Amino acid sequence: DAGVTQSPTHLIKTRGQQVTLRCSPKSGHDTVSWYQQALGQGPQFIFQYYEEEERQRGNFPDRFSGHQFPNYSSELNVNALLLGDSALYLCASSRRGNTEAFFGQGTRLTVV
Amino acid sequence: AQKVTQAQTEISVVEKEDVTLDCVYETRDTTYYLFWYKQPPSGELVFLIRRNSFDEQNEISGRYSWNFQKSTSSFNFTITASQVVDSAVYFCALIKSYNQGGKLIFGQGTELSVKP
């Protein structure tokens, strides 16, 4: 049983560019959440998707957007990249109504 | 507002020592869930334990134990006879309610270094 998988593992982008990160949830899970973890900090909630809709959102600008597909996989898009967007982006999947979330290994984004 | 505080930024111990990681939380909700996650250098957050606000029983799992005290809003984590493999960053986290599965509020993390 595959766990949560994220791609790519590492990414380097230039300021102003756009990036798309991908996440496949654990089998049987229908809810995907995205977190941003800056160096030396705890993960910060970006948003959560369920039934292909954004259900909850943290304190992140509209440059951060997402999508969930019918197979429950999800994408995180960040437009107009800033240096401060450099971080580890973690995807977590869960089953609706269940508090236990499983995390992927993350995508480390570096903006130069 | 919910908040999780891990006052210890870094802890360094020698192998076989016991170590306790502190976690203090704030919430106005009567129903909530508390978690501990381990983050090794690979980056993936590994689930360790979940407790709900109605269950204050302490829990032991091998060398790990957790002490949940609602009176002091604390959920501390003890590793007995620490090992080098325990070296990682440990996060305490809070979920507001049952219907918000996945929306975790994390503390800043405690980096544990276990030296041989």
Q: Which residues is B3 bridged to in the sheet?
A: B26
What are the tens digits of pLDDT across the range B12-40?
999 999 999 999 999 988 889 999 999 99
The mean pLDDT of A50-70, rounded to a whole number, is: 95
Mean pLDDT of chain B: 91
The pLDDT of residue B100 is: 57
Selection from B97, B105, B84, B100 nearest residue B19 by Cα:
B84
B33 — contact with chain A (CB < 8 Å)?
Answer: yes
How distant, in Å, are the alpha carbons of A38, A91, A101, B33 from that of A55?
Answer: 23, 15, 16, 20
Task: Provide the pLDDT confidence category of residue A51 given band limits of 50, 70 and 90.
Answer: very high
Helix (H, G, I), strand (E, B) or coil at A83: helix
A1: pLDDT strictly greater than 70: no
A95 — contact with chain B (CB < 8 Å)?
Answer: yes
**CA A101 – CA B4 distance, rounded (Å):** 18
The pLDDT of residue B57 is: 82
A83: pLDDT strictly greater than 80: yes
What are the tens digits of pLDDT across the range B60-109?
889 999 999 999 999 999 999 999 999 999 999 998 765 555 589 999 99
Owner of token pair 């766990």: A3
Contact A99 B105 (CB under 8 A): no
